[in-house]
């Protein structure tokens, strides 16, 4: 039987691992190269890295670690992919086919698109033709307005797209996306649990797998997204602030009756 996937989302900004809140506050929490071995040894089912740097890079490097100096932000991908033997997704700053091709060449198994889904929607098909539709993950950032209305955003909280998440994810499915990474801006960094209504409405609307993200504060939150219809459960911050977050996350899912790979 197919297992429910547990997936860490690792956020990079200017070459550093960051913790995110509200899609706007980003605290540096570590050096991604230093952490490669630890992350690759986690008993998780996939890894997702997203480079959330906006605009020009200002690569920040710590000098107190014995790690190789990085020339550019994609050098991290080279380091990760050498010893990553679970599917590896890389996202952020992918605007063209060549951007995507470079990430695949450096060892990504899938890429995520967000901004490009609006600007150059034919990119989905172009990438899917060459690398397969399973390699294209559409990242969808949703904000719940105070009146309860859901709206799709891009570039953090800056740009409202005037689109309803259910309609938008159906469009993405028709465009040829292989999976949906569903994020809720209003839940980011809050630790109060997933937006279950959002997950269940999107999961019911599309046939492609939905990866639920945003809001996990305790391991018990994971199973709630599975109940709501998510094919995979993801989280970012919890991986950095708790010990044994891989096996404890899996055990909590198992206790809730979810079939996982232990």
Which residues in this chain contact other proteins in the complex, by CB under 8 A?
A: 1-5, 45, 81-88, 104-109, 129-132, 134-135, 178-179, 207-209, 231-232, 261
Q: In angstroms, what is the minimal distance from the CB of 47 to other proteins? A: 11
Identify the residue whose tokens are 């055990």: 251
Q: In angstroms, what is the minimal distance from the CB of 109 to other proteins? A: 6
| Distance separating alpha carbons of residues 182 and 202, to the nearest angstrom | 9
Taking the CA atoms of the chain, what radius of gyration do you get in angstroms? Answer: 17
| Distance separating alpha carbons of residues 230 and 27, to the nearest angstrom | 28
Q: In angstroms, what is the minimal distance from the CB of 261 to other proteins? A: 5
Q: In angstroms, what is the minimal distance from the CB of 53 to other proteins? A: 23
| Distance separating alpha carbons of residues 97 and 247, to the nearest angstrom | 37
- Tell me the residue length of the chain: 262
The nearer residue to other proteins, 47 or 152, going by C-beta atoms, is 47
| Distance separating alpha carbons of residues 71 and 37, to the nearest angstrom | 20
The nearer residue to other proteins, 40 or 183, going by C-beta atoms, is 40
| Distance separating alpha carbons of residues 151 and 156, to the nearest angstrom | 12
The nearer residue to other proteins, 72 or 132, going by C-beta atoms, is 132
Whether 105 and 112 have beta carbons less than 8 Å apart is answered as no
Q: In angstroms, what is the minimal distance from the CB of 231 to other proteins? A: 7
With vertex at residue 10, the alpha carbon angle to CA 111 and CA 36, rounded to the nearest 5 degrees, is 100
The nearer residue to other proteins, 189 or 249, going by C-beta atoms, is 249
The nearer residue to other proteins, 63 or 85, going by C-beta atoms, is 85
């Amino acid at each position: 039987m197919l297992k429910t996937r547990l997936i860490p989302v690792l956020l990079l900004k200017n070459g550093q691992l960051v913790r995110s809140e509200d899609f706007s506050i980003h605290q540096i929490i570590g050096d991604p190269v230093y952490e490669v071995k630890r992350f690759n040894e986690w008993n998780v089912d996939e890894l997702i890295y997203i480079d959330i740097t906006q605009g020009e890079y200002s690569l920040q490097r710590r000098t107190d670690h014995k790690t190789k100096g990085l020339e550019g932000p994609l050098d991290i991908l080279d380091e990760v992919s050498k010893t990553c033997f679970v599917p590896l997704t890389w996202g952020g700053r992918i605007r063209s086919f060549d951007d995507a091709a470079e990430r695949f060449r450096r060892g990504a198994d899938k890429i995520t698109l967000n901004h490009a889904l609006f600007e150059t929607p034919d990119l989905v098909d172009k990438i899917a033709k060459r690398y397969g539709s399973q390699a294209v993950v559409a990242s969808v950032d949703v904000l719940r307005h105070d009146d309860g209305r859901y709206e799709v955003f891009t570039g953090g909280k800056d740009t409202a797209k005037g689109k309803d998440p259910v309609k938008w994810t159906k469009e993405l499915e028709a465009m040829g996306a292989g999976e949906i990474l569903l994020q809720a801006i209003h839940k980011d960094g809050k630790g109060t649990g997933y937006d279950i209504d959002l997950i269940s409405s999107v999961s019911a609307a599309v046939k492609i797998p939905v990866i639920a993200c945003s809001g996990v504060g305790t391991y018990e939150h994971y199973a709630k997204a599975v109940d709501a219809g998510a094919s995979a459960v993801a989280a970012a911050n919890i991986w950095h602030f708790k010990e044994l977050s891989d096996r404890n996350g899996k055990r909590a899912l198992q206790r809730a009756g979810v079939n996982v790979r232990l």
